[in-house]
Amino acid sequence: MTVNVKTKIIPLSEIEADSKVRIVSFTGGTKFRDKLLCQGIIPGQEVEVQNSGGAKYPVILKINDSKIMIGCGMTAKILVEPIIK
């Protein structure tokens, strides 16, 4: 018997620190999407949230061997799915 578990897709701003997530999509416009892609934030990619700023402070993401700081307004527009171990 196969069990199909649906994953929850939520904004990056709701993720706690020290969590791993997979980028699903962006809800912003073309310039916003291009900015994220230039920073290496690509749908399908797994990233680690090192510092969770919530709705007031920036979030620090670890992508491969790099760290990127994302403002709280931007994190609300990045949709992710938590990676459950």
- DSSP secondary structure string for all residues of 5-58: PPPPPEEGGGPPTTEEEEEEEE-S-HHHHHHHHHTT--TT-EEEEEE--TTTS-
Instruction: Reduce the DSSP state of residue 84 to 3 states and report it.
Output: coil
Q: At residue 29, does pLDDT exceed 70?
A: yes
Condensed to tens digits (0 to 9), the pLDDT of residues 34-77 reads 999 998 899 999 999 998 866 678 899 999 889 999 988 899 99
Residue scoring higher pLDDT (7 or 3):
7
pLDDT at 1 over 50: no
pLDDT of residue 72: 85
Instruction: Please give the Cα distance from 16 to 28 (Å, whole number).
Output: 22
The residue with tokens 């900015």 is 35
Which is higher by pLDDT, 1 or 38? Answer: 38
